[in-house]
Structure 1
Amino acid sequence: MRRSILFPKVVEARRMRVYETFTVQFERAAKEVARLDGDATLASVYVSRSTWDRWMVGDIKGLPRRPTCRILEHLLGETAERLFGPAHPDAHQRAETGAAASAERSLGNLGLSPHVAAMESFRLADRQLGGGHVYRSVVHYLNTVVAPGLFSTTDQRENGEVAFGAAVVLTEMAAWMAHDVGRDDLASGHFDRALRLAQSLVDVTAGANVLAGMSHLALQTEQVTAAADLARSGLTRLAVGPRVPALSARLHAMEARALAQLNEGRDAQRALDSARNALALARSVPTSHWVAPFDEAALASEAASALLDLGALDAAAQEAERALALRDASRVRSMAFGQVTLARVLLAQEQVDAACQVGVELLTAGQSVTSLRLSSQLDSLQAEFDRYRQVPEVRDLLSRMAAAAQHRRLLLGSLALPEGPQ
């Protein structure tokens, strides 16, 4: 029997109303609960698509199984009885629902916007397949769906804020996708446009988030001093707006990466400490609509790269292994980048056998990702392995890497973007 329950409202308020997004968060929560409770079986608990669909329409007969309830309570911060109880409680329950209602309101109109589902879908496809598969769809969506809403004369101001915010987020997303297929000219143009659009928003968070992306791109294109300056600009902008710990952490991490490449070790370590301190506060502050996800796995990955550049190999290996342990398996491209970093650290430590093992895992896991960024890093890693060609295991791995590289070139050729504006 269908009835109105609180669960759909809570997951929507937490930006998880897309099944794939919820699943990623649920699996991460399951691993956390398994560790907290000392019960390894909890890590394998999952929610099927059919179960999710029934929950979203209130087609329930009772509470889910106890392990599922435990993870849902950890993930959503509400008791199972509240999640699957009536959505409209009687008077003596209303005081208890204040926090959930407040969280829902804090999302503003964006939670009601169709752009949210589009953003989550594009982001998920990008993470799993690579930007080349999704870029044209994002640009088409921007031009045909988002752009008309920017100049509508019928929208109220808050709806205009939502439209411009969605335009900023999706334009920044398009920038990264363009970079992922080697079109840094397009990426730079998208970032500049996103920053200009962000000026139209009351919330300064969107602009700071774009500056974080621009800093990251500058690192990728070896504009190290510019990367540090952009990160600091983002932190300055964020200082006059609401607290957004995850974004602060990302900006500090970008600054640390740049300082490490500039061989400013003490300042780089200080920036990494600031990033860790900021991220520790993230759970206590609602997630901003305009901020790209940045979690402990992402920070560990950035820290590993910075420490590798500084020559702190033991610390770099620890952070690289931590990043892989924390990263959800569905984040295929992120996992591949993390494995590249770990393999580089192990080679720097001359742990050749261990590096080979990581290399084999990398080739297996990353074969579905078509990313020029990843392909370039794999080519560089192949060159680093070549110094140990006399080792039989390395020769075998190099042969497999060469075959994989040829396959990647064919795939990337089919996804190449034509010259000129898109």
Structure 2
Amino acid sequence: MRPTLFRLLLQERRWDTWVVFCEQFEPMARRLAAETNCPRLASVTVSRATFDRWCCGEWYGRPRRDTARVLEALLGFSADELFSPAPETMQSRLTQTHDRGGLQASLAISRRWPTSRLFLSAAHEVADAWELQGRRLLDGTTTAVQFHPASVREGAATLQTGDLASLDGFLRPARRGLLVGVDEREEDVRLYVVDSWNARRVRSALPGRDDAMVLSAAHLLDDLSYGILWALVQLDDGLLADDQVLDAEQEALAIYLSLDRSAPSRMSVPGLSSVGASWLGSMFCARHLERHLSDAARPPVFFTREQTGEEAATWLLYRHKVDYLRSQTHRFVGGTPLSRAFCIPEGVVRRSARYERILLFLAVALMEHHGVQVRVTPRPEFGAVDGFALIPGQRAVVATWVRTDALWKTDAVATAADLRHFADLFNDAGSDSVAAGPDPCGRLRVLADYLALDWGWLTVRCRELGALGVARLVRPRSRLLSVDALNEVLRFVGRLAHLL
């Protein structure tokens, strides 16, 4: 079945996501209302569900009356023409370089993950583009992508690479690229992904199979692997873009570390990306905490401000955060277990896509893996509390970089009133934990239910991807990132499948 003219026109113009389409449709509605002296046209909109039906070619819900008038003015064809199969000459613009699988894959990715947009090139020599969109912390980035037919058998996905000149031309550039294998099924499309660095390694290891590339079925692109790819690629590109600036700021960090309290403006480092600012703030907070916790007479308790997968992914990938976590847990091994509280309100959970909830779950699981008992409060008022560490009876150390206008916000206090205040905050946050349980497995199992994650599926996929290793799926290039902790927690969660 040929795609509709509507679908191909949107792909050509790169309007094939709902947000971008509305940016074109709604101004046209207002302009048409003025030109035709018909005010009601100015209020015509298209819902996301309707847009998705149009893109899939479903006959039900096609535009009528005012909506059709705006659409016809926008695209220059009648509604009947737009929602009929595209002419062969029109379709050939894309299908000359993309088989049905590539088109189906681009539709599937855009439909499953709204933070992705696929731009298909109409020329052999120009790579397709996969745009990843962030929310608050991640800035967004674009990577090259190439699609290949795939078949799966006995735990292996075989990508039929076909044109070797095209594949070599795609893999050669220094920029990041992603190969996507497309396994078309009667009711679904399964996708398998690997980055170009790993694709070169796989291809060189199998010189006798120039027409195919064999991957583990663990390369399956689903909410777990997409979430990791979505966070890692954006963090990686953001840090690489800011590498020189971040290196130059190391001297300034040393000056601020001599102060108990600081909150420098983001404008003090102009041009820094959101990712670069997050790394700088997170790095300083880790150093600030280490300095003020070095003489702790008792194990501290912690309150953590991260509450979305986008924010929590930094625990999984920033090298300094993992080093900080390990240093704190190793200092107090054998004594009273460390405790850490999170605030994850129900509203935040409802607004988060499943892949982001998985990243958040993995960050909590990383704490439990290192022996830190986690409490999770759903009460939204705790979302405004700064991150802190409390050494009972000694000192409270404030360290926040998440959701603040400053690069970071740090302080250290020791009055009796301040210590009681922070102790009350921590105790209140843990009093109604939605991750209560006698052991890590029990706490994580309850948390998975709260985050609406399928425990059986999640633990199995973590085991598969942990056995593969994240770096064989997508490899970080920045020296400031590491996937070691992510691999550890994937294997840790994978082992929990046998405990319940």
Shared fold, TM over 0.5:
no
TM norm structure 2: 0.27
More helix by share: 1
TM-score relative to the length of structure 1 = 0.31
